[in-house]
Amino acid sequence: MLDYHLHLWPHEDSSVWYRLDQIAHYCERAAEAGVEELALTEHAHRFVDVLDRVGPFWERFPDEVTSPVMGQYMAFTARNRLDDYVTLAQRAKDEGLPVKIGLEVDYYRDQMDVVSELLAQYPFDVLIGSVHWLGSWGFDDVDNPIPMAQWTVRDVDRSWAEYTRALEELISCRAVDVLAHPDLIKVAGYRPGDPTGYWDAMAEAAAAADVSVECSSAGWSKPAAEQYPAEGFLDRLAARGATFTTASDAHRLGRVAERVGDLAALLEARGVTQLASYSGRQRRLVPLRSH
């Protein structure tokens, strides 16, 4: 099995550390759960290289009350260098640890081309793509009352539609190999009366671009209280022949490979017997479970 969504640092840490032993501990924990291959996928927005390319995108939305919040967050978190991160990940590979060099690539509206140009300079094995904000609204920042208050004043259907359009753009620009937590918009527990239209649109976009899709345990610990993607969404993806990865979205050791067996069971119930493994951004299929 795989854990293809792992972070080295908690969200609350600004300046980060680089430790090979931390990655080794991740690998040990994963092996105990039957996971044989990991991808290190730190957030792209942690790196000043990315912010230098996209600029202060939140300033494009001066009328949004969340714009100052996003500015403060980026000032806090974007303090690190891609070179240092990739060097550490490459060293882990060179030491024989079963890891891939990856990155969680955040969606920047109309700017994915400049992000892709930057990332092409590095030896990434896999890039996973996420939509974490709409405009300047970090809709998944469940511990921050300002963005969470937006859920009480914004139309839920409109928010889901905007998220779907953003994910479609991220998919269509072919900047990433895997879609991370594809229905993250549900994270705070707000769902439309009928999400099937959004599921269909996102599943069609994923199939058209032939990107893999992450099945993640992270949603079980959020207000949404279910895995990503929802079972109905997962049904649609599987019916369209999607390839999948499995993931924990861990930011600390205790969450590595969390409930990976439950994810495997969800996929097996839909006839999925293989997972998508990546090297040099090229996909190959491996058995879902090793026997």
Query: What does the pLDDT look like over 215-233, one tens digit per residue?
Result: 999 999 999 999 999 999 9
Alpha carbons 101 and 52: distance in angstroms, whole number = 22
pLDDT over threshold 90, residue 242: yes
Residues 6+ apart with CB under 8 A from 191: 156, 160
Q: What percent of the chain has pLDDT over 90?
A: 97
The pLDDT of residue 20 is: 97
pLDDT over threshold 80, residue 14: yes
Angle of helix 82-94 relative to helix 20-32, nearest 10 degrees?
60
- For 171-192, write each residue's pLDDT tens digit: 999 999 999 999 999 999 999 9
Alpha carbons 8 and 248: distance in angstroms, whole number = 13
User: Are 268 and 215 within 8 A, CB to CB?
Assistant: no
The pLDDT of residue 15 is: 81
Domain residue spans in the chain?
A: 2-287
- For 196-219, write each residue's pLDDT tens digit: 999 999 999 999 999 999 999 999
Q: Identify the band that residue 262 occupies on the pLDDT scale cut at 50, 70 and 90.
A: very high
CATH architecture of 2-287: Alpha-Beta Barrel (3.20)
Which backbone phi and psi does 102 adopt, to 5 degrees?
-135, 180
The pLDDT of residue 233 is: 98
Residues 6+ apart with CB under 8 A from 265: none
pLDDT over threshold 90, residue 152: yes
The pLDDT of residue 291 is: 60
The pLDDT of residue 290 is: 78
Mean pLDDT of 71-92: 96
